[in-house]
Every structure is written in C-alpha cells, then in structure tokens.
Amino acid sequence: MLTLTSASSALTLFPECKTQRRRFAISAAADDKFPSFLPKQMEEIKDPFARKLATRIERLPVNVSFSEKSIMSSCVKPLIQSNQNPVVLLHSFDSSCLEWRYTFPLLEEAGLETWAIDILGWGFSNLERIKSCDVASKREHFYQLWKSYIKRPMTLVGPSLGAAVAVDFAVNHPEAVENLVLIDASAYVEGTGNLAKLPRAVAYAGVSILKSFPLRLYTTFLAFKGVSFDTGLDWVNIGKLHCLYPWWEDATVSFMISGGYNVSRQIDQVMQKTLIIWGEDDQIISNKLAVRLHCELPNSIIRQIPDCGHLPHVEKPDSAARLILEFMQNHSCQKKAQLAPTEEVVY
C-alpha cells in the first residue's frame, strides 16, 4: 500500500533535510515500546506504521481557563526543526493522531517540521477532570498548545471534521495560521443538529452505539475504496483505541449536546491561502461540495485525487503528501519572491 521511498522525489522540495530518511529508518528498526498511557490494546494492532507512530506519542501539559490543572495533551512532536514554518496535522471526527500513520513519515522524511495533534475530547489526552469539550474549549486548548510549544505560524491541515476545526481556528487566531490544507472538508454540516437536543441519558446511549464495532466497521468500508476485510478490521481497532478511556463518553456527549461545529458562515472570513484536497470517490461528503468550497474560499486552489475515498491521507498517502509538499513549496517560493529586493534599472 505504501512505501516510504515513494516520497524520495519530494526530498528535492526540501533538500536541507535529506538525512531525515536515515533517522526514520533507524528508529523503525527498534522494538516498539508504547507509552504507558496508551490503552493496552495497542499491543494487538498489526499495522506497522500505526505501531511506529504510537511509540512517538507523548503528553504535554497545556494550561486552559476551564481547568484548574494542566491538561496532559497528546501529540506527536517533530524530530527536527526546519527553517520552514511547521505543518500541523489535525484528525477527523472522533479519531486520533494515528490517523496520520502513513502520511506523517512521508512529510517528515521530506524535511518538514511536522506535528500531529489530538483535538481536545478525542485522541490520547488525559481528560479525567475535564467537564467541557465544546467548540470554544477545543479552540482554546489548541491555541494554548500552539502558544506554548509550536510558537510560529503554521500550515494547518484538517481532514473531514478536522477541516471545520481548522477553519474555526484560522478565523479566530489568524496570527497562528500561515495557510490551510482542507481534506474532504466537513465544512457545511450544521453542527450536531438534533443530537444537541437529546436528553443526556439518550445522548449517552447514542454514544455507546458510536463506539460499537459494527458501526465503525461499516463506516470504515464506506470511507475507503477497496480496502480488504483484514485491513479494515485492523483500521477499526486503530480508530477506536481512544474510545477505551473512561472519560471518552463524557467528552463525546459534551461535544454532542454543545451543538458542535458550524463553520459555513466563517468560510468567507478565511484569508489564508488554502489548498483543498478531495477524494474523487468520497461516499461520505460529495465532491460537489469541494467545488462549492473552492468558490467560496477567497484564496484557494483545489486538487482531486482519483480512485480515492473520504480520507486520502490514509488511503492515498503518497498523493496527499505530494500535494501538501508542492503547496508548501509554492508558498515558500512566493514568499521569497516577495521579499527579494527589486533591481533598479538604469537607462
């Protein structure tokens, strides 16, 4: 499905970090030792890329106004610092940073300073004492993490609902976002809809269904084009690891009854240059909405990936990585051209 060497052509985009290939190869040869805070079921995952990325997950303390104590927040930090501004990867609804298991090493191998961040309420953060996981809480938490650790304008990448998170964040904190990459964006969903009106007891019942194996297996085969049954099973187990934490239900119900993300009115406020990536065979969000998004975003370009479903960075990581790298290279070249002094012509 994926070979790391497929990114070798992209190394010419960021030639200053060719040694990164060697560093990744060395780390990949080591025994997988997972952080103690990950669910023990991580040991049962077969996917070698998920296992390798999981060894790099760590928790960083993040201070927020809605918690007396720091939130120990999960992410994958970059191995290197680059002269380029960093790329920060968000994940889709009810997922984790392991969603980037195939594309993350390709971006890092090409020399990008790459972060993968777990959105508050999902992923592997410690949420034992957190009562609120609404949109405002997610935004504040991400901002404080950025302010404390990333500290530079970033290329922010959001797939599916993560695209809504990215749009909301870019509009509210434009100083933190240099440009955007939106992948099969869930930009026109009106929050959680009628789910926000459910009684709390009914909401908890619905959440228990959300983490059920049959539902997640169905959505996996709906999201991806042509995935084998064995692979699909492993991907389901990867996708539901974070649901095993005791606080997952509380966090998810908090998000559901808060109303969720509704960013359709924010789209025309996005001033950052934006790359829209879309799988042509997306069975979850129509690619007609990709065209609409392209028309409504003031400064955007669109690229579609053929023979690909809802999550290109999982299904077609080589293509997703190449498009992100080319977008960042073009942006970097434009910045350099703008900063270059103009020569005075003497007649």
In degrees, to the nearest 5, what angle opens at C-alpha 142 toward C-alphas 141 and 144? 65
* Contacts with 114 (C-beta within 8 Å, 6 or more apart), sequence order: 76, 78, 86, 87, 88, 89, 104, 107, 108
- For range 281-305, the mean pLDDT: 95
Which among 174, 69, 165, 160 is positioned nearest to 120, based on CA atoms? 165
Contact 273, 180 (CB under 8 A): yes
Q: Across the chain, where does the E strand assignment appear? A: 57-62, 71-76, 87-89, 114-117, 154-159, 177-183, 273-279, 300-305
DSSP 292-330: HHHHHSTTEEEEEETT--S-HHHHSHHHHHHHHHHHHHH
What is the pLDDT confidence band of residue 340, given thresholds at 50, 70 and 90? low
Report the pLDDT value the prediction gives residue 173, as an integer from 0 to 100: 98
Write out pLDDT tens, residues 59-71.
Answer: 999 999 999 999 9
Q: So which residues are the catalytic ones?
A: 160, 282, 310
**What is the rounded CA–CA span in Å between residue 186 and residue 210?**
18
Write out pLDDT tens, residues 189-226.
Answer: 988 877 777 888 888 888 888 888 899 999 999 999 88
Report the pLDDT value the prediction gives residue 343, as an integer from 0 to 100: 52
**What is the rounded CA–CA span in Å between residue 312 and residue 185?**
12
Contact 197, 292 (CB under 8 A): no
Residue with tokens 């080591």: 30
Is residue 1 pLDDT above 70, yes or no? no
Q: What percent of the chain has pLDDT over 70?
A: 89
Is residue 9 pLDDT above 60, yes or no? no
Residue with tokens 């001033």: 271
Report the pLDDT value the prediction gives residue 342, as an integer from 0 to 100: 54
Report the pLDDT value the prediction gives residue 191, as an integer from 0 to 100: 84
Query: Could you tell me the domains of the chain?
Result: 40-336 (3.40.50.1820)
- For range 15-19, the mean pLDDT: 37
Mean pLDDT of the chain: 88
Report the pLDDT value the prediction gives residue 235, as an integer from 0 to 100: 96
Is residue 147 pLDDT above 50, yes or no? yes
More confident residue, 248 or 32: 248
Contact 256, 207 (CB under 8 A): yes
The CA-atom distances, in angstroms, between 143 and each of 87, 154, 165, 180, 211 are 15, 12, 12, 16, 28
Write out pLDDT tens, residues 238-252.
Answer: 999 999 999 999 999
